Structures are given as structure tokens and as C-alpha cells.
A and B are shown apart, each in its own frame.
Chain A
């Protein structure tokens, strides 16, 4: 049984111009201890699909699926209260903008301990000790002092570490990372990715990594899903993706890597798109 199983997931929004489908008929599954990368351009519905899994979409969104199961439990059949009980403890998510992800009015310590208070029976002192431990585990120096810091006093990379500490506070079985390094400096990106992979390996978490960086995919993922315009284009293991891409869009995407640039202009997907302007 897969940790997370998604079949024919669609998400739509009611807009002034009619119904808009952000995700259309996605299938995917994640096993325990597996790293799944979801690749695609901005606006291809990667994040929306994962927000739907977490149950974080606004009420204006309509989510339908043939199956949306976590450890065999049907998420769509659960009450909002039951899903809240799982999220933050069994499944957790981190986002693209680490600084904006943290509440500017509360200390980092408060925001970590809050999750522990919600999902564990630890008392105040134990929560504090666990928060220190978590900050240390995500590589923040002087964790005791840092607990009293506010998000604006930390760098983007540190904020993302704090977010990872919050997400992993209750040892979740599934961690969804939505472009966790996009907003960070290139030098920090690698550190954060390594941290995520280390924690994933240590705890045997399932990790869903949403990205548009093919380099990240090649380095980290076990399996890859390529998504375009709300639909799944390709679902394969990493090696086959780079060696034998099946879908024309994937081939276009790979050809558009800057390394493949010839002449004075960076290639774009539409240059290679079948039936496109190329």
C-alpha cells in the first residue's frame, strides 16, 4: 500500500470568466521513504495539487478525485477536524517563500512549540527542549537564543530551516516541499536540499519535491512526474526521464535547459513543442 495515493485528482476554481481547472486528472503515488519530484513550469498546477492533498485550498476551490488516500485512509471522506488532526503531524508542507511563511508577530520558538502543543502531549518544558533539538537538527547555531528571534531577524535560508523544523516537529510520514529553494541564494539552495534529503533518509519520510529545476530532480529524486497545464505528461524513474523521455513536452523541457543553448538566445519550450512555432 502506497503512503499517498492520488487517482484522477482535479481542482477547479470558479472565476468571473467561468470554471478554471488548475489541475486536471492527476494520478500519483508516493511510497514510504521515497522522493518524488514533480516538475513543471509556473502555473502548471503542481502546487495546487499538493495544497489539495494537504487540504489547504480556499473554499472557492472544488477538489474531486477517484481516490485520495493516505495510508489507505480516504482523505476526501474525512471531516475537516480529522484532517486538521493529521496535517502538521502525519503530513506536513513547506513553501516557496520562507520569510513570508512565518508569522512576523511571533517568535520562532512560539511557532515551533505551537505545532508540538497541537499534536503532542509534551508539557511546556519538554516542548521547549524539543524545539531546541529541532532547531539544532536543521542546522541553526545557538538554538536556545534563536528561539526568541522573530522571523524578520533571520535570513531566508534560516527561515526555511525553521519551516523545516516546524514541518518535521512531529515526525511526519509525508513531507511536501513546494519549491523550497527557489527564493534562496544559490549557495544556500544546496544546503537546504541536503538538509531535506538527510531528514528524509533519517526518518524514512516520503518526500514530495515540487520544483522546476531539472538539476535538482537529477540529484534528489527517485521518481519524477512532469506536469503541464494541469495535466500529467510523464511519470517515470529519474534515469529514464533523462535518458528516454517519452513525452514530447518532456523532451522540449529538457532541451530548454540553458546548457543546450546554441546561438544568441536561450531556447524555450515552445521552440521544441510539436505543432508549435518551431
Chain B
């Protein structure tokens, strides 16, 4: 068939496009097309469910000490005691139950730290980017100073000042992670501030506050969501590290990092006491990072090439 003879060519080859789908649905489809991200999401949701229903799922009280079953190995190892699937620790506490309750701490740490860091970071970044000038210079220098310290070191020192403990550890980590949000927001605001739609809103009489939060902020949401996900996993890792160093959650809290610190001396004799909490941290953090990667690919238009 010769193409030139086709009288209907133009109309036929220009069909009405598919009905426009909402951006959320489109993003979801793209995200769900990423197998790793989907696996991460499922694992993460499972962790959330485990954390919520911990008292129902856990076979034992996480603090209960079974004196007749000290350092019992997990079920597949010879010498395992029935009822302790993943074995017990040196005080005879059920490791599985402690891990299940530990999920509550890790998720809470992630949530609290990210909320704190996100909210302050956004406010600080918006103010710096929107007002510019010396306000911007001052704020950004402060952020530079925070970022000049290795984050774990700064968190350690902050905790040393305000005293060890889970809450203080979360506070310290939030302080350390917050500049990333501030920088991101500021950068986005600087880029968006002089765009036409912001001008239009300004001309229409929108006030500063309204401009910042209702007009500019929604347009830099994508990178912030990605950063929030990465910070979530970072927060869990750093809190666990602080717990491991004895500066985070204190024993007998079943926080995973703290559990590892208690288990250190049994490294030669009872590997499961050491292995299990770390595995729990790794799986949770890995799941969140998989989600983060998926979100980045979905929300970053530069990467989205079909």
C-alpha cells in the first residue's frame, strides 16, 4: 500500500489520546512497575503491621526472662528449646518477641525524626529561599556548619550534652538530618520563585505566607518526598548505631541497636544473639531504600525516560 494514497491518514493516525489519568494514579502505575520498589513496599507494610500488632503477634513478653532457657539457639539448631523460634538471649528473653517489639521503636524513630527534620527543614529552607539576602546567607552558613561535622559524630556529641536516651537520640539525629531538607527546599524555592506562576500569584495579591506554602511548596514536593524516605532509613541506622554505642535507647529496651550492644560479648558463643537484630535492621532499611529508589525514579522527571 502506498502511503500517499491513504486519504484518511491524518484523521486515522491521530486518534483521540487515552483519557488523561490523575497524576497520582500515573505515578502509582510507574512506581508499581518497579519490582524492587513493590517488594520494598510490601516488606515495609508488613513491618508496620508487625509493629502495630506486636502484643498480639509476639509469643512472649519481650522483657520476660526464662531462667531455664538462657542462650537457647534458634529452632533449626540442635539444642533449641521449643517455644523460642529464634532462640533466647543471655537473660533468657525470647529474641523473636524482642525483635517484634523492636519494630515499634525503629518505625517510631524513623517517623519522629523525619517529621521533625522535614518540618523544620522546610520552614527554614522556605524562609531562606524566599527572603534571600542576609537571612539566606546566615541560615545556609548554619546549615553548612552542621553538615561539616560527620553526622554520627555530631549526633553523639549532642547526645553527650543532653544525655543518652532514645528521645534525645532522635532529637540529635533530626538536627543532623534537617539541613538536607532545608537545602533542598531552598534550592527549589530559588528555582521556582521567579517563575511566571509565582509572579501571577503575587500579582493576584497572595501574601508571603500563602505564596510560600500554597504556591511554591507543592512544586518542590517530589524531591522532598524522596529525601524523606532516605532520611527515614538513615534515622533508623543512626539511632541503631547510637544504641549500639550505648548513647541511644537504654537496656532493657528491645531497640535493635541496643540489643546488638548487649549481644556483643556473645559473639564467640551465641551467634544468633548477634545476627538476628542486625538482620532486622538490614531488612527494614533495605525495604525503605527500595521504596526510596522507586520513588526517585517515579518523581524525578529527569530520570523518567520511557
Q: What class of interface size applies to chain A in its complex with B?
A: 20 to 34
B9 at the interface (CB under 8 A from A): yes
Q: Which of B3, B4, B8, B11 contacts A246 (CB 8 A)?
A: B4
B1-44 CB mask vs A (1 if < 8 Å, else 0) is 00110011111111000000000000000000100000000000
| B12 / chain A contacts, CB cutoff of 8 Å | 275
Chain B residues near A125 (CB, 8 Å)? none
Cβ-based interface call for A70 (8 A): no
Q: Is A233 an interface residue (CB 8 A)?
A: yes
Main secondary structure of the interface of A (DSSP, over half): mixed
B268 at the interface (CB under 8 A from A): no
Q: A16-B306, A229-B13 are in contact. Are A248 and B7 (CB under 8 A)?
A: yes
In the complex, residue of chain A having the shortest beta-carbon distance to the beta carbon of B11 = A275
Q: Evaluate contact between B11 and A273: CB separation under 8 angstroms.
A: yes
The answer to whether A234 has its CB under 8 Å from any CB of chain B is yes
Shortest distance between the CB of B83 and any CB in chain A (Å)? 50
Q: Mark A242-278, 1 if CB is under 8 A from B, else 0.
A: 0000111100100000000000000001100111100
Q: Which residues of B contact A269 (CB under 8 A)?
A: 10
Task: Contact check, A275 vs B7: say whether CB atoms are below 8 A apart.
Answer: yes
Which of B4, B8, B33, B306 has the most chain A CB within a 10 Å cutoff? B4
The total of chain B residues at the interface (CB under 8 A) is: 12
Name the distance in Å between B174's Cβ and chain A's nearest Cβ.
Answer: 40
In whole angstroms, how far apart are the Cα atoms of A131 and B158 in the complex?
Answer: 62
Q: Are A276 and B4 in contact (CB under 8 A)?
A: no
Is there an interface contact between B11 and A247, defined as CB atoms closer than 8 Å?
Answer: no
**What separation, in Å, do the CA atoms of A16 and B305 have in the docked complex?**
11
B residues in contact with A15, CB < 8 Å: 306
Task: Please tell me if the beta carbons of B4 and A233 are within 8 angstroms of each other in the complex.
Answer: yes
Residues of A within 8 A of B3 (CB): 24-25, 231-233
Q: How far is the CB of B86 from chain A (nearest CB, A)?
A: 42
Chain A positions within 8 Å of B14 at CB level: 270, 276
- Give chain A nearest CB distance to B192 CB in angstroms: 25
The verdict on A249 contacting B9 (CB below 8 Å), with A25-B3, A233-B4, A234-B4 known, is yes
In this complex, the member of B10, B11, B33 whose beta carbon has the largest number of chain A beta carbons within 10 angstroms is B10
On chain A, the residues within 8 Å of B10 by CB distance are 228, 248-249, 252, 269-270, 273-276
* Contact across chains for A276 and B11 when beta carbons are under 8 A apart: yes
Task: Determine if B7 and A247 form an interchain contact, defined as CB atoms under 8 angstroms apart.
Answer: no
- Chain B, residue nearest A13 (CB): B306
Residue of A nearest to B5 (CB): A247
Which A residues are in CB contact (< 8 Å) with B33? Answer: 16
Q: Closest residue to A274 on the B side, CB-wise?
A: B7
Give min CB distance, A136 to chain B, whole Å: 40
CB distance from A267 to the nearest CB of B (A): 15
The CA of A233 and the CA of B13, in the complex, are separated in Å by 14
Tell me the bound Cα distance from A233 to B5 in angstroms. 9
Cα A247 to Cα B3 with chains together (Å): 10
Which of chain B's residues have a CB closer than 8 A to the CB of A273?
10-11
Give the chain A neighbours of B9 by CB distance below 8 A.
Answer: 228-229, 231, 249
Q: Which residues of B contact A (CB under 8 A)?
A: 3-4, 7-14, 33, 306
A contacts, CB < 8 Å to B? 15-16, 24-25, 228-229, 231-234, 246-249, 252, 269-270, 273-276
- Can you list the 4 inter-chain pairs with the closest CB atoms, starting with the nearest? A275-B11, A273-B10, A231-B3, A229-B13
19 contacts between A and B (CB under 8 A): A15-B306, A24-B3, A25-B3, A228-B10, A229-B13, A232-B3, A232-B4, A234-B4, A248-B7, A248-B10, A270-B10, A273-B11, A274-B11, A275-B7, A275-B8, A275-B10, A275-B11, A276-B10, A276-B11
